[in-house]
Amino acid sequence: MKKLAWLFFYASFLLACNKTELKQNDSTLTLPAVAVNAVSKTVSKKVFIHWMPWFETPASRGAWGYHWKMNTQNPDIITNGKRQIAAYYYPQTGPYASGDPDIIEYQLLLMKYAGADGVFIDWPGTRQLYDYPDNLSNSNALISKLQSVGLQFSIVHEDRNWDAGNTSGAHGDFVYMQNNYFNQSNYLRTNGVPVVLNFGPITFHQPSEWDAILSGISPKPKVLPLYGFTGQVGSNNTGGEFPWIYQQHPTVVDNYYAQASSFPLSVGVVYPGFNSFYAAGGADGPTWQIPFNGTGTFSTMLDKAINSSVNIIQFATWNDYGEGTIIEPTQEYGYSFLTLMQQKLGVTYGQHELEVVYRLYQYRKQYSGNSSVQQQLNQVFTYLANLQVSNAESLLNTISGGTTPPTSGVYIKNKWLSTYLYEENGQVKYSTVNTGNQYKWVQETVNGHIRFKNLSTSHYLNIEHLYSYAESTAVPDTYYSSYWVLESYNGLTRLKNEWQGTYLNLENQSGLAQCTAVPNYFESSQWTLQN
């Protein structure tokens, strides 16, 4: 769990901080060529995604890990098809183990097709305490797969995991990196030396301590601390700084961009918002929020990063469910963050390719234990890693009997009345039964926006004519009347129309769904999306 409370103390300092002593130079960012094909994009900046290794399930460690349950949740409790997890968002795959090879394959392929060049790994270090050894094992499992996908990596060091005065332990972390990571051809380097980000520093605040930590490490890495902390690591040990997610959004990040050209290596940051589960989970951590605004916050922060002078854009994060900064596919947001990345980075792929990757993951699980099919799926992976999507689809179709499995869609169930939405004669109605495809809705993402298509008619949920009821009709995919934002409230979902800012609800109990302004605590506007 990231403990960001310490950031509060420094926030006012960061808002007015001066440029560091580092000066502009001609540093060269090195991303070695890899054997598999790389995804082309029009944005020249390098793209790295911040990944957490700390999720565990009973299948992986004999019990649910802390980050799925914190102190109040029990994932063994299943309600409306969803496990009770410590998050306001629910992964498309369901809660998973970070070291699961099928999950790793799925996540890395999605990153690649979204335009990523590499992964920043939130690395626990080598201390034998808490779940750190499991985190290290999961990190190494991901690293072992990176070259086969064609992605680079770098470590985000957590010096918080050592006690003050114990520089020998942190030194051991860098010895481990030297012996296991720095010699890999796909490790991130600048001017020929490895790059290590540090989330802080939290424990060691004197350059002399960092001199001891890095003593004898060869090649000696450049350590990038958080924005404003070069003085604690020492200018001889650093090669730049990076910003994170701050309560003073977006002021601190804007200040960083104004100074980015002064750093030898600069790393911008993009995030979807901040919506932590700490309070609900009975855990320590910040409770302030940064609204998602659908994909609006993410879009704005990505534009800022692209238009800045930074060398690398860090997406924060792939999967920090505790802080609600997830961009991997979830039931609430679908692929919307990844498709927006594709569009703004100038990637030639779209949601279809992401769905093929998900299909590979589903087949991995469906045919678990079937060695012959798994061998075929290994070939599907190779095709996808080398951007041979049509070959991958053809082989998947062969495995499934010659046809692509039909999209099943979801039921949209109201919390208050326990009823399901369905389409009839262009109107959206509700019923206690859910028999037939008219009750099923396929969540799609277009232009970074979420739409719901009725599985029976292929019509889209919308409010185009501002009737007293919600419609399900043919609507062009550019119409905001058919765009919906999925907002989380107490583990349920509210559907906000992007055009009018109103919420889908059953408040009037008229037999027809409506879209009006209702308070978030009204159960008439609270839904579950059930498979």
- For all residues of the chain together, what is the average pLDDT? 91
Domain carrying residue 482: 411-530
Of 325, 352, 379, which one is at a domain's C-terminal end?
352
pLDDT tens profile 289-304: 999 999 999 999 999 9
Are 135 and 261 members of one domain?
yes
pLDDT tens profile 374-417: 999 999 999 999 999 999 999 999 886 654 444 578 899 999 99
Are 310 and 442 members of one domain?
no
Are 255 and 146 members of one domain?
yes
Q: Does residue 367 lie in a domain region?
A: no
Q: Which amino acid is at 495?
A: L
Q: Does residue 235 lie in a domain region?
A: no
Q: DSSP per residue over 255-296, as a string?
A: HHHHHGGGSSEEEEEE-S-EE--TTTTT--S---EE--TTTH
Q: Does residue 46 lie in a domain region?
A: yes
Looking at residue 92, its pLDDT comes to: 92
User: Which of 224, 157, 251, 250 minimizes the C-alpha distance to 20?
Assistant: 224
Contact 385, 377 (CB under 8 A): no
Q: What values do phi and psi take at 270, rounded to 5?
A: -130, 130
Contact 365, 101 (CB under 8 A): no
Cross-strand bridge partners of residue 333: none
Query: CA-CA distance, 442 to 509, in Å (whole number)?
Result: 25
Distance of CA 359 to the CA centre of its chain: 19
Of 321, 336, 352, which one is at a domain's C-terminal end?
352
Are 50 and 150 members of one domain?
yes
Q: Does residue 236 lie in a domain region?
A: no
Looking at residue 26, its pLDDT comes to: 39
Interval 115-138 mean pLDDT: 97
Please say if the pLDDT value at position 449 is more than 50: yes
Looking at residue 28, its pLDDT comes to: 54
Looking at residue 488, its pLDDT comes to: 85
Contact 336, 485 (CB under 8 A): no
Are 434 and 288 members of one domain?
no
C-beta contacts of 516-522 below 8 A and 24+ residues apart = 520/487, 520/489, 520/494, 521/489, 522/416
- Per-residue confidence at 147, pLDDT binned at 50, 70, 90? very high
Are 118 and 246 members of one domain?
yes
The more confidently predicted of residues 316 and 28 is 316
| Exposed/middle/buried for residue 417 (C-beta within 10 Å: 0-12, 13-18, 19+) | middle
Are 247 and 100 members of one domain?
yes
Q: Residue 145: which CATH number?
A: 3.20.20.80
pLDDT tens profile 347-386: 999 999 999 999 999 999 988 888 999 999 999 999 999 9
Are 345 and 416 members of one domain?
no
Please say if the pLDDT value at position 451 is more than 80: yes
Q: Does residue 387 lie in a domain region?
A: no
Q: Does residue 50 lie in a domain region?
A: yes
Q: Residue 438: which CATH number?
A: 2.80.10.50
410 three-class SS:
strand
Are 327 and 445 members of one domain?
no
pLDDT tens profile 51-75: 999 999 999 999 999 999 999 999 9
241 three-class SS:
strand
Are 151 and 258 members of one domain?
yes
Looking at residue 8, its pLDDT comes to: 41
Q: What values do phi and psi take at 73, rounded to 5?
A: -105, 155
Of 302, 335, 352, which one is at a domain's C-terminal end?
352
User: How many helices and strands (H and E) does the chain possess?
Assistant: 14, 26
Are 142 and 250 members of one domain?
yes
Query: CA-CA distance, 517 to 193, in Å (whole number)?
Result: 56
Number of domains comprising the chain: 2
Q: Does residue 372 lie in a domain region?
A: no
Are 336 and 418 members of one domain?
no
Q: Does residue 363 lie in a domain region?
A: no
Residue 184 CA: distances (Å) to CA of 150, 151, 188: 13, 12, 9
Residue 488 CA: distances (Å) to CA of 86, 87, 90, 275, 453: 13, 10, 10, 9, 21
